[in-house]
Chain A
Amino acid sequence: METTTQAPAVHTESKVPLREFVRDGKPPTEDYREKLFELEAKGELEVHRVPEPIVEVETKYGRKKKIPIEHTWHHKSCGQCGHIPGYSTAIFWLHRQFGLDYYDPKDQSSCTAWNYYASSTSNPAAQAAIAVRNFAQAKLDGYFPLIHCGTSFGHYKETREEIIHHPELRDQVRRIMDRLKMPFVFPEEIVHYSEWIHVMRHRIAERQVVDFRNITTTVHPACHYHKLVVEDAIYDRELYDGQRTAIVTGLVEALGATAADYSTWHDCCGFGFRHILVSRDFSRSFSTIRKIERMKEEADPDVTITHDTGCVTTLDKSQFAAQAHGRNVGIPVLSDAQFAALAMGAHPYNVCQLHWHGVDNKPLLEKMGIDHKKAWGEFEAIAERIESGELDFMTWEDADVK
């Protein structure tokens, strides 16, 4: 097998007569929205409708999914907020740049799916109740849930299936909601923030101030985004001929960067939920050998872009120890939100909080033409003001250094 290979960019020129995939026939699955509306009609639950303005996207079998542009309730991610704060910050920053109405709630609990997949110290009723509680809170707050984490997204899709198919579960959830004095609410769509970024990508590109044309990326799609409840993921005829999910690749291309293909595109990152915390040899080995080394060998990207907390964590944090073993690593890892924010001129440290990342991303910033030394100086200046007590917290105004 060849080792040093130049992988082609996503669209390779075809040498055979053009094959164009045209989907015919009806989808092989039921429409979950119809099922939810049926339950609502029977009085079993309330469906929280997606608020206007809406953009429709196509999902795997050609159905249309509604994506809200604003009036969203930001369902935050444990890992992002815990150790990749630039990820959540970038999502909010993007909304603020476009002047969109959003709400960042304190009345939000973790989806607790990370824990459930890691340890099974829970059960479907608890998981469903936690989901419904968050959704009910969002409806009460008057905003539509936008999910920040891929794990939450996948888990909520799974929960939706269980709620639709099991009357006994609905009964249990209803009794719990009654005790909490909250309504049984379920959203019309479960929307991941990267889907919002996907529909906003051309508007983001319009405001791009950093040139990405010399940036080569590799894209890593999150397993829980497109492998759990496969129908509910964005597919686009223009990207991968509608054969692979278009998420993240759409943004990368819209920003003028290259999404280079590699042979382990479909592989999991190796997060493992429990493994990343307490059996790290698995996560580290898998991530290094199957993902990072392959990307390096075949695509040699400047950065790898993904759209889930676990994936950013695993890909970013596995490379340090691997380096000690002389492995071929060293690709900075960014979320699509941070990538988009940088394109629009966001501060690499005040907004993207790149100092919380493992792999050195300064070479990437240099290639993007961003003066990271100056930027770090600006961040440190604010940090000093906080340390001295002059400033309590960095505000959004402080973050956008002019």
Chain B
Amino acid sequence: MSIYKDAKYMDVPYEEKLKLFKEVKDDMRYDHNLYGCYECGICVAACPSARFYDFSPRVFAQIMAREDVDTFYELLNDSVWDCSQCYSCTRCPRENNPGGIILMMRDAAVRAGMQSAKDALKAYSRIIYKVMSTGTQVAPDMLQPDFFPDWGTDVKAVAENLDVWRRAIPPETLHTTELAWDVSEKTRLELYMIWKLTGNLELIEGIDEGIYMILEEVMEELLDDNGYDIDDFENVLEE
């Protein structure tokens, strides 16, 4: 029973909410991220998201400190993705880190494959694919006017001249259009091993199955080309 009359998600079983809450509490970073809160409001004062969204880092710190599982679940669905991860809130005199609390909550939401997490990340998933498969997050070929119409006329000019303009940059490592810089195969291989060893590939399955399948294929291929079997890399975090 929530203490609030207008509480949401009361149809979701309490055990489910509690499980997620405990996961966040068990996160190794929890004790350094949350002490106590005396509601001074410094975090909200400094927060850019608080000015734009119905969002308050203070509410996160308070609710977690109170161990209010029902409201925690509301925040996990409704406002956890509003945070802009700037860490201005670490001005907290109690040394709380609301941005850090939110990061742990998002980790839990993603692990659980929550619908609200999927919704928040729907438009973003091709970026996930890019960074996990290539080892760089944004590539020049992503600078397309239909994806960034609001960024300005330079985007159109770049897109039209992409190949030539990328060659017209002195550093050798920048002579690519599919990656931010030329990442070696060795590094990509090591990155794939890290994704597998930390269970990150499996994590994507819960967020976007399509991306997951392509990713797995790409990773399996590269590992195979180099004499590795993708299944040999089991999640060390589960040991």
Contacts and interface: CB of A to CB of B under 8 A. Distances in A.
Give yes or no for direct A-B contact (beta carbon below 8 Å): yes
Interface of A: 76-83, 85, 88-89, 92-93, 104-110, 112, 114-126, 129-130, 133, 137, 154, 161-162, 165-166, 168-169, 172, 175-176, 179-180, 182, 223-224, 227-228, 230, 266-268, 270-275, 277-278, 280, 282, 284-286, 290, 317, 319-321, 350-351, 353, 355-359, 379, 382-383, 386-387, 391-396, 398-399
A239 B36 CA distance: 35
Contacts of B128: 115, 119, 121
* B152, B184, B193, B200 pick with most chain A CB within 10 angstroms: B152
A264 B203 CA distance: 39
A88 B169 CA distance: 10
B1 interface: no
A81 B180 contact: yes
Interface string B192-216: 0111011110011001000000000
Interface string B94-133: 0000000001001101100000010011011001100110
Interface string B134-155: 0111111011000010111110
Contact of B123 (A112, A224, A278, A355): A278
A270 B123 contact: no
A120 B109 contact: yes
Contacts of B157: 355
Interface stretch (B4-12, B62-70, B85-93, B217-225): B85-93
B165 A383 contact: yes
Nearest to B236: A175
Interface residues of B, number: 83
Closest A-B pairs by Cβ, 4 of them: A120-B106, A320-B152, A272-B84, A358-B152
Given A106-B181, A282-B84, A394 B194 contact: no
B137 A230 contact: no
A357 B198 contact: no
Contact of B233 (A106, A154, A179, A350): A179
30 contacts: A82-B136, A82-B139, A85-B169, A106-B184, A108-B183, A110-B180, A114-B131, A119-B207, A122-B203, A124-B29, A161-B32, A168-B28, A172-B236, A176-B197, A176-B198, A179-B193, A179-B197, A223-B86, A228-B90, A267-B48, A270-B84, A280-B150, A282-B49, A282-B53, A286-B51, A355-B157, A357-B154, A358-B154, A393-B172, A398-B170
Contacts of A125: 198, 236-237
Contacts of A320: 150-153
For chain B, what secondary structure do more than half of its interface residues adopt (helix, strand, loop), or is it mixed? helix
Given A82-B136, A277-B124, A387-B164, A317 B151 contact: yes
B191 A286 contact: no
A382 B193 CA distance: 41
Interface in B152-168: 152-154, 157-158, 161, 164-168
A89 B171 contact: yes
Given A79-B137, A353-B169, 20 more contacts: A104-B171, A104-B173, A108-B187, A116-B103, A120-B107, A121-B110, A123-B237, A125-B237, A126-B200, A130-B191, A176-B236, A224-B87, A268-B84, A350-B168, A351-B170, A355-B165, A393-B167, A394-B168, A394-B169, A399-B170
